[in-house]
Amino acid sequence: MLRQALLAAARSGHIKTAVTAAPLSRNVVERFVAGETIDDALNVAQALHDQGMLVTLDHLGEDTHDADQADTVTRASIASVERLFESGLAKSADISVKPTALGLKLGADGPKIARDNVARVASAAKAAGCTVSVDMEDHTTTAETLRLVRELRSDYPDLGAVVQCYLRRTEADCGDLTKPGSRVRLVKGAYNEPEAVAYRASDEVDRSFVRCLRTLMAGEGYPMIATHDPRLIEIAGALALLNGRSNESFEYQMLYGIRPDEQRRLAGQGAKVRVYVPYGDDWYGYLMRRLAERPANLGFFLRSLVTKS
Ligand code: FDA
């Protein structure tokens, strides 16, 4: 119930206005977001790099309403690629982009606008030596997003796809995505989806995660295991061993600010670990989804509404 209420709040313009205007202490946002500027994100990326970890940078923003806004978001992603290159961090970096922020929902032309914009970011990334991953949003965008990735992979074979195991369709999608070199991020899924398209009980979601994991680990692609769940991380490690995978042939991914000790532990064991580093001032939807995932985070957030620091 609480999770659904928070996910509904994540989509509400009125609540967004109220929350973003509230005198939030900076540390509630800073716990999950690197900062408002690309310099903030680069500082975090450098610190993670120094600890032997990789990053994917996400310039926050979703649901673009016109082509100019989509262009602005695209330029911001390209600028972050250029700054990664200048700072010498591009080789260990990935850029995450959201199709709706790049124009996917702009009417009949939306899919083409989003595809062209993702291609602009992917082209800049190719020149700089980093990669791009296309985040997955709510289920109304799944088919178009996977189509976009499929089409662009002929020019950018390392373009990353994301699959959400809470969707009933995803096991089949994993089968389609196990081609050689195919970079696939497996997540549970962060949106409020109807029963008709998604598993809603957590044990069903976990079982689906393991089925998808089996397919991806046995396939020829490059699985990116994006979870903080200790049990699923352990199963991923066991499946990697079982399938004879080296540490170089898959990676773990976690969100900035969540289980940093576990991120360091895995990296210390020689595993590839990539941290998803969001930055920018449009943090509301991202923060609400993180709160929905964990009641302990909600307590922290509510306390900060009354304790300014
Ligand atoms: P879940 O939230 O169910 O937690 C499972 C267990 O993990 C907990 O019981 C606890 O043991 C541990 N845990 C979790 N949070 C913890 C904390 N703060 N402290 C200590 N332990 C904690 N979603 C999406 O829809 N589209 C996308 O493109 C992406 N992209 C993405 C990238 C990356 C790198 C990550 C890690 C995640 C995403 N997600 C996403 C979000 C994803 O769908 C999901 O909502 C979150 O990862 C939370 O799910 P978990 O798998 O971590 O398990």
Going from the Cα of 116 to the center of ligand 1, the distance in angstroms, rounded, reads 30
Tokens standing for 250? 């898959």
**Lowest mean pLDDT across 80-94, 172-186, 266-280, 282-296:** 282-296
In 164-200, which positions are buried (b, 16+ CB within 10 angstroms) versus exposed (e)?
bbbbbebeebbeebbeeebbbbbbbbbbbbeeeebbe
50 inside domain: no
Tokens standing for 30? 């800073």
- Indicate the pTM of the whole model: 0.92
**Angle at CA of residue 25, ends 20 and 30, nearest 5°:** 85
Burial label for 154, CB within 10 Å (0-12, 13-18, 19+), is exposed
pLDDT of residue 309: 37
Tell me which residues are annotated as active site.
Answer: 135, 185
What pLDDT band is residue 281 in, cutting at 50, 70 and 90?
A: confident
Task: Give the separation between CA 13 and CA 53, rounded to whole angstroms.
Answer: 36
Average pLDDT over residues 95-121: 97
Going from the Cα of 185 to the center of ligand 1, the distance in angstroms, rounded, reads 12
pLDDT of residue 15: 64
255 inside domain: yes
Please check whether residue 86 is in contact with residue 43, taking contact to mean a CB–CB distance below 8 angstroms.
no
pLDDT of residue 305: 55
264 inside domain: yes
**Lowest mean pLDDT across 18-22, 78-82, 230-234:** 18-22
| pLDDT value at 154 more than 60 | yes
Closest C-alpha residue for ligand 1 atom 36: 254
Q: Residue 190, Cα to own-chain centre: how many angstroms?
A: 10
Beta bridge partners of 278: 58
pLDDT of residue 276: 97
| pLDDT value at 16 more than 70 | no
What pLDDT band is residue 65 in, cutting at 50, 70 and 90?
A: confident
Range of the domain at 129: 63-75+96-272
pLDDT of residue 296: 67
**Lowest mean pLDDT across 55-69, 123-137, 234-248:** 55-69
Tokens standing for 199? 């598993």
Task: Give the separation between CA 134 and CA 184, rounded to whole angstroms.
Answer: 10
Task: Give the separation between CA 260 and CA 231, rounded to whole angstroms.
Answer: 17
Q: Which of 229, 233, 263, 265 to mutate to test ligand 1, by most ligand atoms within 8 A of the CB atom?
A: 229
Going from the Cα of 188 to the center of ligand 1, the distance in angstroms, rounded, reads 7
Average pLDDT score over the chain? 90
Residues touching ligand 1 (Cβ under 6 Å) are: 135-136, 162, 164, 187-191, 226-230, 253-255, 258-259, 276, 293-294
For the chain, what is the domain count? 1
19 inside domain: no
245 inside domain: yes
Task: Give the separation between CA 177 and CA 159, rounded to whole angstroms.
Answer: 12
Going from the Cα of 289 to the center of ligand 1, the distance in angstroms, rounded, reads 10
Task: Give the separation between CA 146 and CA 103, rounded to whole angstroms.
Answer: 15
90 inside domain: no
**CATH code: domain of residue 234:** 3.20.20.220
291 inside domain: no
CA distance to 49, 130, 137, per residue, from 100 (Å): 29, 22, 8
307 inside domain: no
**Lowest mean pLDDT across 50-59, 212-221, 264-273, 300-309:** 300-309
Average pLDDT over residues 177-196: 95
In 92-101, which positions are buried (b, 16+ CB within 10 angstroms) versus exposed (e)?
bbbbbbbbbb
